[in-house]
Each structure stands twice: as structure tokens, then as C-alpha cells.
């Protein structure tokens, strides 16, 4: 899942981005409203964490303009203000949820998961099953026939992305858009490398891989043996 984090306090932005990446999110960080608006107009995000008080244009303005442009991306708004009027203003501007600073990071993760589950794409249940695999989207854990698989955060993020589109062929560009952040190098073979790593971890010996390659198109996760 690729998230846009809009926070103008460098220390807070660094801390939040680090925590989110440790939970398998790809994170782009923006420090002002103008930059956030540009990123939202040019990148397909799975969710936005948006501070209200920002340089150049406020988070309220960014959210309002995003909705006016037809963007349905889930928005979690952050603010140090705790007055009911501020919460109403945030929700009326287009935010889907509201979190007042200071907050517990665990609560932010829970709210973010909830927003993504009921977001613009197909609802994401807490448990995803693909053949012998079971993905726990809350714990970020994968088991095969009850045995826990030792996946890295990036491997898990890639597998969950494929599992959400089970049976569908997804191209490298779409994978990069949602699993990697802006540091992704389109000239590299990093996606192919991670696909091979996943295959070694999730596939059973002497069985066809659950991750199929469609030459020239991309990859698909499928338990269908036909």
C-alpha cells in the first residue's frame, strides 16, 4: 500500500514514515500543501495522512481540492486542534477520518487499515486466502498450511498487493506505483528480484508457483491449477 504522508514538522514526519515503512507501507513524504496537491494530482495513492496546519495551503484546502477534482483516495486528517468545530471542518472538507495530536501510533495504524479496507477499491478483509496461503492483513503475517512464513516487510507488501488482485495480471508499473515509493528506479529489476524471493518462500517444492508470469504483461497470484 502506498501512502502520502503530509507533515511539515521534520521530526514528526521522519518518525511516522519510519513506523509506517516498518508496517509494510510505501511512504512518500510531503512538507507543504502545494507539494501535497501536486503529488495527489500525479500519483495514485492508497491513502493520505494529512496534517491540517501546513505551509502555502492548509490540509483543509488540499482535501477540499482533491475531492473537487474527483479523487476518492481515503484521507486521514491530523491536527493539534481538539475543538469540535475543527473536526467538523476537517470532515466537511473531504476527510474520511480525524485524529487529534498527540495520538498513539497504534491507533493511527488501526484507523489507516480501516480506511483502506473500505476505500475506493474492493474491501480488504482481515484474512485473505489464496490456495494454501493465508494473509493476516492486520498482523501483516502470512502462513502456508498453518506454518508462518518469514517475509520481509517489502515481500509482504508485494504479496498482499497481488492477493488483493488475485487472478488478475498486474504490470510492473502498477506494482511500483503501490508497493514502492518515489525512490523506485524504473530501470532496475528490483520487482523481478522480489518476485523470485517470494516464490522461494511461498511455493511448495515440486509444485507450480502460485505467482504466474505473463510475459510482457506482468504477474498474477493464483491458486488455480488449470
Most confident range, picked from 18-22, 70-74, 202-206: 18-22
Tally Cβ neighbours within 10 Å of residue 200.
Answer: 9
Pair 4, 48: CB distance under 8 Å = yes
The architecture (CATH level 2) of 127-221 comes to: Orthogonal Bundle (1.10)
Give the mean model confidence (pLDDT) for residues 26-41. 95
> Is the pTM of the predicted complex or chain greater than 0.85?
no
> For residues 181 and 46, what is the distance between their CA atoms, to the nearest angstrom?
12
Looking at 1.10.340.30, 3.40.50.2300, 2.30.30.240, 3.30.160.270, the CATH number of the domain 2-117 comes to 3.40.50.2300
- The per-residue pLDDT for range 110-119, each reduced to its tens digit, is 999 989 887 6
- The per-residue pLDDT for range 50-60, each reduced to its tens digit, is 999 899 999 99
For the chain, the structural domain boundaries read: 2-117, 127-221
The CA-based angle 123-127-133, given to 5 degrees, is 120
- Which residues of the chain form beta strands (DSSP E)? 2-6, 26-30, 47-51, 75-79, 97-100, 127-130, 133-136, 141-144, 147-148, 211-214, 218-221
Amino acid at each position: 500500500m502506498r501512502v502520502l504522508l503530509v507533515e511539515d514538522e521534520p521530526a514528526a514526519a521522519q518518525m511516522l514514515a519510519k513506523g509506517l515503512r516498518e508496517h509494510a507501507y510505501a511512504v512518500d513524504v510531503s512538507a507543504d500543501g502545494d507539494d501535497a496537491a501536486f503529488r495527489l494530482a500525479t500519483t495514485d495513492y492508497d491513502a493520505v495522512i494529512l496534517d491540517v496546519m501546513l505551509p502555502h495551503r492548509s490540509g483543509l484546502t488540499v482535501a477540499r481540492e482533491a475531492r473537487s477534482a474527483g479523487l476518492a483516495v481515503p484521507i486521514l486528517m491530523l491536527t493539534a486542534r481538539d475543538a469540535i468545530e475543527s473536526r467538523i471542518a476537517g470532515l466537511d472538507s473531504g476527510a474520511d477520518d480525524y485524529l487529534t495530536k498527540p495520538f498513539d501510533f497504534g491507533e493511527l495504524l488501526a484507523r489507516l487499515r480501516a480506511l483502506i479496507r473500505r476505500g475506493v477499491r474492493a474491501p480488504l478483509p482481515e484474512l485473505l486466502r489464496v490456495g494454501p496461503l493465508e494473509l493476516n492483513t492486520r498482523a501483516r503475517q502470512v502462513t502456508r498450511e498453518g506454518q508462518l512464513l518469514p517475509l520481509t516487510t517489502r515481500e509482504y507488501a508485494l504479496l498482499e498487493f497481488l492477493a488483493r488482485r488475485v487472478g488478475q495480471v498486474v504490470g510492473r508499473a502498477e506494482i511500483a506505483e503501490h508497493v514502492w515509493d518515489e525512490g523506485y528506479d524504473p530501470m532496475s529489476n528490483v520487482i523481478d528480484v522480489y518476485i523470485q524471493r517470494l516464490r522461494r518462500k511461498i511455493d511448495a517444492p515440486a509444485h507450480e508457483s502460485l505467482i504466474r508470469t505473463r510475459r510482457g504483461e506482468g504477474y498474477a497470484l493464483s491458486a488455480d491449477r488449470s
